[in-house]
Amino acid sequence: MNLIEELQYRELQSKTRRHFIKQCASGLGAIALGSLMGCGTGKDSHQQAMEDLVDKIPHFAPKAKRIIYLHMAGAPSQLELFDYKPELGKLDGKDCPPSLLEGKKFAFIQGVPKMLGPQAKFLERGDSGMVVSDLLPHFSSMVDDVSLIKTMHTDEFNHAPAQLLLHTGSPRLGRPSMGSWVTYGLGSENENLPGFIVLVSGGNTPDAGKSVWGSGFLPSVYQGVQCRSEGDPVLYVGNPSGMDGKLRKQTIDAINGVNEKEYRDTGDPEILTRISQYEMAFRMQTSVPEVMDIKDEPEYIHEMYGTSPGKTSFANNCLLARRLIEKGVRFVQLFDWGWDTHGVSERESLEVGLTNKCQQVDRPMAALVKDLKQRGLLDETLVVWGGEFGRTPMQENRGGRVWPFKGRDHHTEAFPIWMAGGGVKGGYTLGETDEIGYYAVKDRVHVHDLQATILHLMGYDHEKFTYFAQGRDFRLTDVSGKVVHKVIA
Amino acid sequence: MDQSADFIIFLGRFHPLFLHLPIGFLVLGFILEFVSRKEKYRSLRPAVGFTLFLGAVSALITAILGLMLATDGGYSEDLLAIHQWLGIGLVVFAFGAWFIYTRKEKKQDPKLEKAYVGLLSLMMVFLGGAGHYGGSLTHGTTYLTQYMPDGMRALAGLPQQQRGFKPIENIEEAVVFEDIVHPILEMRCNSCHNASKKKGELQMHTVDYLKKGGESGPVFVAGQPLDSEMIKRIHLPESDDDHMPPKGKTQLTPGQVALLEWWIAEGAPFDKKVAELKTNSEIDDILLTLADPDANKTEVELLLAEGVEEADPEKVKEIKSKGVMIKPLSNNENWLQVTLNKSLPVDELLAEIAEAFPNQVTWLDIKDSPVTDEGFASVAKMTNLTRLRAEKTSITDKAMGHIKELPYLEFLNIYGTKVGDEGVLALGDLGNLRSLYVWDSRVTKQGAKQLEEKLNKLEVNLGFEVTVVDSLTVQVVPVKGE
């Protein structure tokens, strides 16, 4: 008798009649419960679960079927890009009036900072005459397809909470992200690819970490899947050396067989999610490398975006975003890190750092919108661009020092975002800020208002689009949010 | 001194609560009186006197509380006077009726019987009157009739109800305040800010009162919409106590808010016509809807708003089981969107779908599929098709020939196909066509231009031309028809 046989023998010996009866009772109970709760057994209900993922019907006919969200992590300066304030230029170098500082908290500004005039030239662009800085020459050629909101405001003045608030509707961890909500609501159009894909560039993931694309309390199928444009697109999806596709398929079939048996025994629907994830992962082994390989794009497309295959860049990610959208991915989330221009180093300065970041994103983001347009995809794809908050009209004086570079601190009262396609107006500027760009004064748009608007464009009433968790219904917009009808075409 | 005045008002506020007692008792007494005259309910007879007594006493207390409440002020003098005297009359008649009842019990007298019935009837009339005017005081005089059906209004001799805006025939000649602003105030503000209700000491139903303002100062600052109390309150979050109209009441539409802001921005004139004020394109669009609610809607929007009969659910299920993505545009519409995957026998399925749902399919997506020109004969049968994606297929001019009579086609994507000028020029009768995507097809700049000239709403997209300027700059210019 070898060791394993002996173990089995011992185990059997230790079983009593009580074990037998207990096992029978709880097993039968679970089966009865399963059928009572409407879970059948085997393939049918599994298929039903998959159909549920695909067959989602919104509250009203959607204007946008897909979203590409370009997030500039670190928060770009509105005063150098979209909000031209000549009055601020006149105040340059003067002490900030106390009225702007009373009762305010800043991340780094201490005492009385100096005002800082616009560090870029502004021009009227396109037929609409939208005023845009010369740091964004490529973007300036497509302003007539864009709705610019200059009066966004938020509640959080630090990166991580502000990013969480923007993407999950709450500054604390644990809520599903916008992409998860949208995928949960509209399902996927391509069963070989995840409905929600995340691409990161700029050298770092956003400060709030992977929670900004987490699924919170929604089923984990709706979580964002991060793909990389360098090396393996999705980590751990490739086959290890020595294992070919056929063997992998056999392995997954065997695992799914065990899981299906377990499902028949227990009726736990999370097992179905597990089965479908395995199958999806297997299909992704071919579908993902195919869609993530940009080498087969023609030369003029590479010129348009400024892409170089095989590298990690915002340009490559923009091109990938278009390819993913073409394949029917519902929500493509791009993060580009490095926009936190405090002025404490060259990289974080308005003079050098911001100019460099603008050069990295300006051409590809313009190319993305134009490329979607020529493919007839812009009509039903919403492109959103923006940071998590804005920057102060005052120069940052961290530690009470004068820094060698120009920079601005975090600011919650006014920041811009732009949207294109997907049912929004073209060549439209919404909102006004005061003379120095400190407060949004007319047509203020809160982060929850933006979320409500995005859901509205996707066909959902943000107040009715809820998910029951932890004893109550949750929504992306928490308890507020108003659709900004003015930007909707 | 102040303390006792406050205490009187404190007690007075119980008036609206207490008044239900005399109403209940007196109506019950009245009913008992006549019901107990029947043999069957004879046993109820002794209860009449007691009920009337309770009614009379509670009416007295209610009247005293009412007088206390009146010291608070803020009610329309005329209405209050009527209500007050009807109430006092009611107390008198109630006690009178009870008194005669007790006399009549002791000694049968036909005269007393007559006086009793008369007093009882007068009491009921005063009860109704006092109740009605009391309701008018708290809810406003139009509260009861506001939602009366038009037929009943005609019978009652009341003017016909104006729901929403009365269409304005000639918008340029319309007086901005009288024809546009006042109806909005009438609909959403005046039910609380009128001569009888005056919430926040504010009345908005006449020009003079509107100019006068209320507790929080003037309603508007001419030329300064954002500094105007009314606009500020409209923009507060709905949960804010100062938000107007209050939470739970019908809110102003974004268009109505824009009109109010526009009127104030233009100096809040009371006599100027639309033509005399400056407008922008946004205001122009809203003004157009005042003349005709559908003014800014396209034929396609009207079609989709009109709806369609439901598709046979069994048939939908059957076609779905063949791998077709088919589903309604939204939860409350019967319009269908259909997507056919490239791995399916597209031509056959199209024929089947066109046969089963000729009216319902309005979005069709057959991009990147093996559809042929012949398949388009089926597409042509989907008469309410508004969006068609057929890019990256091998269709030719012949396919366009099939769909040249789809009246509502608005969006057509045929980039990356073999369609040429002849094909797109066949689409010259599609008056609703707005977007045509023909990049990377055989359509030329000349062909595009020719079609655009024929269809004035149409924009043809021929793609972009890319020119590299330097390592950082690239020019991407749209190709235009010529």
ipTM confidence? 0.83
- Report d(CA B160, CA B150) in Å as an integer: 6
Helix (H, G, I), strand (E, B) or coil at A245: helix
What b/e sequence results for A334-343 when a residue is b if at least 16 CB atoms lie within 10 Å of its CB, and e otherwise? bbbbbbbbbb
Q: Are B260 and B181 in contact (CB under 8 A)?
A: yes
Determine the pLDDT at residue A370.
97
- List chain A residues with CB under 8 Å of B332: 59-60
For the segment B327-335, the average pLDDT, to the nearest whole number, is: 90
- Report d(CA B235, CA B243) in Å as an integer: 7
Determine the pLDDT at residue B160.
59
Q: Are B372 and B396 in contact (CB under 8 A)?
A: no
Helix (H, G, I), strand (E, B) or coil at A73: strand
Residue A38 has pLDDT above 50, yes or no: no
CATH number of B306-478: 3.80.10.10
CB contact under 8 A, B439 and A59: no
By Cβ distance, the residue of A55, A61, A441 closest to B330 is: A61
For the segment A201-220, the average pLDDT, to the nearest whole number, is: 90
Question: In sequence order, which residues have a C-beta less than 8 Å from that of residue A408 and are 6 or more positions away?
Answer: A77, A79, A116, A341, A342, A343, A350, A391, A392, A393, A394, A395, A396
- List chain B residues with CB under 8 Å of A138: 473-474, 476
CB contact under 8 A, B391 and A375: yes
| DSSP characters over A168-205 | HSSSSTTSPPHHHHHHHHH--S-TTS-SEEEEEESSS-
For the segment A135-148, the average pLDDT, to the nearest whole number, is: 96
Cα–Cα distances (Å) from B423 to A229, A369, B321, B438, B452, in that order, read: 41, 28, 34, 11, 14
**Which residue on chain B is closest to A483 by alpha carbon?**
B254
- Report d(CA A468, CA B256) in Å as an integer: 36
Determine the pLDDT at residue A400.
84
Residue A50 vs residue A437, higher pLDDT:
A437
Determine the pLDDT at residue A62.
92
Q: Are B76 and B193 in contact (CB under 8 A)?
A: no
Q: Chain B: nearest CA to A328, how far in angstroms?
A: 11
Question: In sequence order, which residues have a C-beta less than 8 Å from that of residue B402 and are 6 or more positions away?
Answer: B373, B376, B377, B379, B380
Q: How confident is the model over B129-143, as pLDDT tens digits?
A: 999 999 888 887 777
Helix (H, G, I), strand (E, B) or coil at B70: helix
Residue B353 vs residue B165, higher pLDDT:
B353
Determine the pLDDT at residue B426.
94
In B357-444, which ranges are continuous DSSP H helix?
375-379, 397-402, 421-425
Q: Are B344 and B323 in contact (CB under 8 A)?
A: yes
Task: Report the phi/psi class of residue A153: left, alpha or beta, with left for phi > 0 and alpha for psi in -120 to 50.
Answer: beta
Helix (H, G, I), strand (E, B) or coil at B50: helix
Query: Locate tokens 């609560």: which residue?
Result: B17
CB contact under 8 A, B335 and A61: yes
- Report d(CA A393, CA A389) in Å as an integer: 13
Q: Chain A: nearest CA to B236, how far in angstroms?
A: 11
Residue type, A382: L
Q: Report residue B72 as tokens.
A: 């608070």
Residue A346 has pLDDT above 60, yes or no: yes
Asked if the C-beta of A28 comes within 8 angstroms of chain B's C-beta atoms, the answer is: no
User: Strands A331-337 and A440-442: what pairing?
Assistant: unpaired
Q: DSSP label at A221? A: G
CB contact under 8 A, A379 and B389: no
CB contact under 8 A, B330 and A363: no
Q: Are B457 and B432 in contact (CB under 8 A)?
A: yes
Q: How confident is the model at residue B166 (pLDDT cuts 50, 70, 90)?
A: low
Q: Report residue A317 as tokens.
A: 């990610």
Query: Locate tokens 């008992």: which residue?
Result: B32
Asked if the C-beta of B476 comes within 8 angstroms of chain A's C-beta atoms, the answer is: yes
What DSSP element (H or E) covers A125? strand A122-125
Q: Report residue A38 as tokens.
A: 């409407």
User: Strands A408-411 and A415-421: what pairing?
Assistant: unpaired
By Cβ distance, the residue of B331, B333, B415 closest to A376 is: B415
Q: How confident is the model over B402-432, as pLDDT tens digits?
A: 999 999 999 999 999 999 999 999 999 999 9
| DSSP characters over A44-108 | HHHHHHHHHHH----SS--S-SEEEEEEEET---HHHHT---HHHHHTTTSBPPGGGTTT---SS
Among B361, B476, B477, B480, the strongest candidate for a mutation testing the A interface, having the largest count of A CBs within 10 A, is B476
Q: Are A420 and A489 in contact (CB under 8 A)?
A: no
Residue A190 has pLDDT above 90, yes or no: no
For residue A22, list its beta bridge partners.
none
Q: Are B424 and B447 in contact (CB under 8 A)?
A: yes
What DSSP element (H or E) covers A322? helix A314-326
Give the other-Cβ count within 10 Å of B269's Cβ.
Answer: 15
Cα–Cα distances (Å) from A470 to A216, A218, B154, in that order, read: 11, 11, 55
- Report d(CA A263, CA A314) in Å as an integer: 43
User: Strands A415-421 and A146-153: what pairing?
Assistant: antiparallel
Domain A50-229+294-487 has CATH 3.40.720.10: yes
> Which of B 173-202 lie inside 8 A of A, CB atoms?
none
- Report d(CA B350, CA B348) in Å as an integer: 5
CB contact under 8 A, B476 and A359: no
Q: How many beta-carbon pairs under 8 angstroms link A with B? A: 84
Residue B384 has pLDDT above 70, yes or no: yes
Q: Are B290 and B262 in contact (CB under 8 A)?
A: no
What DSSP element (H or E) covers A151? strand A146-153
Query: Could you give the maximum distance between any two Cα atoms of chain A, in Å?
Result: 93
Query: Locate tokens 């609380």: which residue?
Result: B192
| DSSP characters over B333-376 | ---EEEE--TTS-HHHHHHHHHHH-TTTEEEEE-TTS---TTHH
Q: Are B477 and B464 in contact (CB under 8 A)?
A: yes
For the segment A412-435, the average pLDDT, to the nearest whole number, is: 95
Q: How confident is the model over A246-296, as pLDDT tens digits?
A: 888 898 899 999 999 998 888 877 788 788 878 888 888 888 888 888 888
Please tell me the total number of residues recorded for chain A in this structure.
489
Q: Chain B: nearest CA to A12, how far in angstroms?
A: 48
Residue A394 has pLDDT above 70, yes or no: yes
CB contact under 8 A, A61 and B333: yes
Query: Locate tokens 């479908």: which residue?
Result: A276
C-alpha dihedral sign at A86, A92, A94, A97: positive
> Which of B 324-353 lie inside 8 A of A, CB atoms?
325, 327-333, 335, 339
Give the other-Cβ count within 10 Å of A352's Cβ.
Answer: 15
**Which residue on chain B is closest to A372 by alpha carbon?**
B463
Q: How confident is the model at residue A363 (pLDDT cuts 50, 70, 90)?
A: very high
CA torsion B362-B367-B371-B376 (nearest 10°) is 30
- List chain B residues with CB under 8 Å of A303: 466, 468, 474
The chain-wide mean pLDDT, for chain B, equals 89
- Report d(CA B101, CA B117) in Å as an integer: 10
Q: How confident is the model over A372-388, as pLDDT tens digits?
A: 999 999 999 999 999 99
Determine the pLDDT at residue A287.
85
Tell me which residue of B65, B63, B53 sits closest to B28, measured CA to CA: B53
Q: How confident is the model over B442-471, as pLDDT tens digits?
A: 999 999 999 999 998 999 999 999 999 988
Q: How confident is the model at residue B2 (pLDDT cuts 50, 70, 90)?
A: low
- Report d(CA A323, CA A327) in Å as an integer: 6
pTM of the shown model: 0.77
- Report d(CA B259, CA B288) in Å as an integer: 12
Q: Chain A: nearest CA to B243, how far in angstroms?
A: 14
- Report d(CA A456, CA A483) in Å as an integer: 7
Among B338, B474, B480, the strongest candidate for a mutation testing the A interface, having the largest count of A CBs within 10 A, is B474
Task: Report the phi/psi class of residue A193: left, alpha or beta, with left for phi > 0 and alpha for psi in -120 to 50.
Answer: beta
- Report d(CA A384, CA A388) in Å as an integer: 12
Q: Chain A: nearest CA to B213, how far in angstroms?
A: 24
Q: By mean pLDDT, which of A39-48, A372-381, B296-305 is the weakest?
A: A39-48
Determine the pLDDT at residue A55.
59
Query: Locate tokens 């996707």: which residue?
Result: A458
User: Strands A467-469 and A445-446: what pairing?
Assistant: unpaired
Q: By mean pLDDT, which of A271-275, B316-320, B356-360 is the weakest?
A: A271-275
